[in-house]
A and B are shown apart, each in its own frame.
Chain A
Amino acid sequence: MSAWLDMALNGAPINDSLVSQRQQSLALLRAARWPNRKVEAWKYTPVRALEQIDYSAANQSTAARGVDAVEGLSAIELVLINGVPQAIAGELPAGLQVRALSEGEAIAGELFGSVKPSRHIFGLVNDVLAADGWVIDVAPGVQIETPLRIVYRTTEAAQAHGRVLVRLGDKSRLTVIEQAEGTEPSMSTYFSEFSVGVGAHLEHYRFALQTGAAMSVGGCHVLLAERSELHSTLVGFGSDLSRLDVDVIHGGEFASAKVNAIYLLDGRELFDLHSTIEHACANGTTEENVRGIAGGQSKAVFNGRIHIHRHAQKTLAELNNRNLLLTSGAEINTKPELEIYADDVRCAHGATVAETDKGALYYLQSRGISRSQAQIMLNFGFINELVDAMPNAALAQWLRPQLRARFAQMGDA
């Protein structure tokens, strides 16, 4: 059904300590329907472009380029080049353990697939093909002040698969930044799983900034134990194929999740964000704010599902998705889905798609500001709140000029 998949699966699964889990996923994958218009989760997102890259041209020996530092951010840099972990510079703080997935630690077997639902078809691909990645463990009660920055680098014509498994012990604290970039033709799947212990706090970022022909399907999957907290910021640009699946599972009472997402598309780009919040336990809180801007002939897809299980009484859940459509050629498909099986909950969700406020544009121009700059200011104004809400100021500072550059480019279209 997919020549790419057949080619990719050639020789799989990998015969390592995870082989039985990989075999299970391979069986599921073989039985699953390959994405097409009739598969609901892929209705708006064609994956044809996968077939069009000549992967034989891949130069796997590409020298490792250095990773651009984020000014003002001192982070522990964890780099994966085409899924292969690079040496870690410096010492790790006490209470933090970082290993390569291929080292075959027992904890990897425990975490692998323990959070990520099996319905994500590229997640299954990743199960089978991700030979390596990072396994991160924070001991209970330990607060790691230095953020971990995981950089996913994919070289030209490569297909890369990487897996990140993270465990936060009870009452621990950790910041994880996942960052992917690239413009050259390639295909990658990067999936991360987080098991957040009782009373622990995870500050999380995922920057899916691939553009052009750099294709990527990935996911972040978070399991929250009792009284744990998640603050996650997702930022996506579009490419020939860019898809992110996010799951947050309230697996203990009184957990709280705040998810802010931004996507900015231009040209013929595609970005697809599917998020699912599972309130499986009572007294949980979710606040999800998603803002998107689409220009050119681009296509944005947002599917936000909140599922409140029967026993999840006293849940507070809010999902808000606002979109700005810059051109008549752009397309935004947004679908909030609320499924509530408990009776004592407070839920709100809404989605809007609006065009640029002409009155605001005129007002700015009437003060001497050029139309293109006014449009950039308005675009920025639309998402600023979420950038400002990023707990890490250095990261927000690093992101702003990139967004500005993107807006300037969108203005030209």
Chain B
Amino acid sequence: MLSIKNLHARVEDKTILKGLNLDVKPGEVHAIMGPNGAGKSTLGYVLSGRDGYEVEQGSAELDGHSLFDMETEERARAGLFLAFQYPVEIPGVSNMEFLKASVDAVREARGDSALSSAEFLKLARVVCKQVNLPVEFLKRGVNEGFSGGEKKRNEIMQMILLAPRLCILDETDSGLDIDALKVVADGVNSQRSSDRGFVVVTHYQRLLDYIKPDFVHVLSDGKIVKSGGPELAKELEAQGYSWLADHPDEVPAE
């Protein structure tokens, strides 16, 4: 469903992605790990079309449609979802208004009928509960004053409400306490299905104990330098990334 080929992209005048390839099929969960600054978040931003992130070469298709021909909102409506590493605070805009506007837009694009305010409220309450956020959070400004963990749960809530085709979770586990980690993982697992794909960016093996990936990739200096099964995450946890610096071209034997 997601097919990225030879992607080169830059921020300002610095090339960050340098020939990245990735294929995600429906039902698969791919974990991406890699050192700080490798370009993991950049990949999410480029795919979702953030201003200032420029594609130099290569392609990315979601269900056969070129993402780079679409506006950010069109990509979301086509089923791309990015859970942000740093969710944005928007004081003055209530979480409820935001969630409703977003669900309305995505449903409309899919040709689904609009939900009434009452229907939506009911749905939002259920999902709030699912991610263990008090319903009062619906009334607060978007992420305004939310703790780090609350912001991440709010991202998962949005993901569940929008029912996307492909979910990119950028360090959704960072800053979570043990219980919240389980809540987030349960949220993700509840959404796993044979027609949905996941790209989970994480630094920690721990998350992958809860969300069992089909593939694990190492992203370094703008490229996927190694791919493997779940066992690769365990090796990385043990070895770190120093082998990348010492022998950038030689990856350790499995």
Contact = CB atoms under 8 A, between A and B. Distances in A.
Given A368-B77, A371-B73, A380-B92, A363 B102 contact: no
B92 A367 contact: no
Contact of B92 (A358, A373, A382): A382
A11 interface: no
B93 A380 contact: yes
A378 B109 CA distance: 22
B162 A381 contact: no
B84 interface: yes
A327 interface: no
B68 interface: no
A367 B162 contact: yes
B51 A370 contact: no
Given A366-B50, A367-B105, A368-B73, 12 more contacts: A360-B90, A362-B72, A363-B87, A365-B71, A366-B49, A366-B72, A366-B82, A367-B76, A367-B162, A371-B72, A377-B98, A380-B93
Interface in B59-91: 71-73, 75-77, 82, 84, 87-88, 90-91
Contacts of A359: 88
The contact size tier of chain B is: 20 to 34
Contacts of A380: 92-93
Nearest to A365: B72
Contact of A362 (B51, B97, B106): B51
A385 interface: yes
A385 B141 CA distance: 11
A363 B88 contact: yes
Which of B50, B93, B141 lies at the interface centre, i.e. has the most chain A CB atoms within 10 A of its CB? B93
Output the residue of A367, A381, A385 with the most chain B CB within 10 A. Answer: A367
Given A360-B88, A381-B141, A368 B102 contact: yes
A366 B71 CA distance: 9
A384 B141 CA distance: 11
Given A362-B51, A381-B91, A367 B97 contact: no
A129 B212 CA distance: 81
Interface string A325-366: 000000000000000000000000000000001111011111
B48 interface: yes
Contact of B76 (A366, A377, A385): A366
Query: Could you say which of A362, A366, A369, A380 has the most chain B C-beta atoms within 10 Å of its C-beta?
Result: A366
B158 interface: yes
21 contacts: A357-B88, A358-B51, A360-B88, A362-B88, A363-B87, A363-B88, A364-B90, A365-B72, A366-B82, A366-B84, A367-B98, A367-B105, A368-B106, A370-B105, A371-B73, A373-B105, A377-B93, A380-B92, A380-B93, A383-B92, A384-B92
Contacts of B158: 367
Interface in A379-399: 380-385
A364 B97 CA distance: 11
Contact of A364 (B71, B82, B98): B98
B115 interface: no
A208 B253 CA distance: 74
Interface of B: 48-51, 71-73, 75-77, 82, 84, 87-88, 90-93, 97-98, 101-102, 105-106, 109, 141-142, 158, 162
B109 A368 contact: yes
Given A373-B101, A377-B101, A381-B141, A365 B90 contact: no
Contacts of A381: 90-93, 141
Contacts of B76: 365-368
A368 B88 contact: no
A145 B203 CA distance: 62
Contacts of A366: 48-50, 72-73, 75-76, 82, 84
Nearest to A372: B73
B98 A368 contact: no
Nearest to A367: B102
Contacts of A370: 73, 105
B97 A377 contact: yes
Contacts of B88: 357, 359-360, 362-363
Contacts of B72: 362, 365-366, 371
Contacts of B91: 381
A368 B100 CA distance: 11
B92 A368 contact: no
Contacts of A371: 71-73
B163 to A, nearest CB: 11
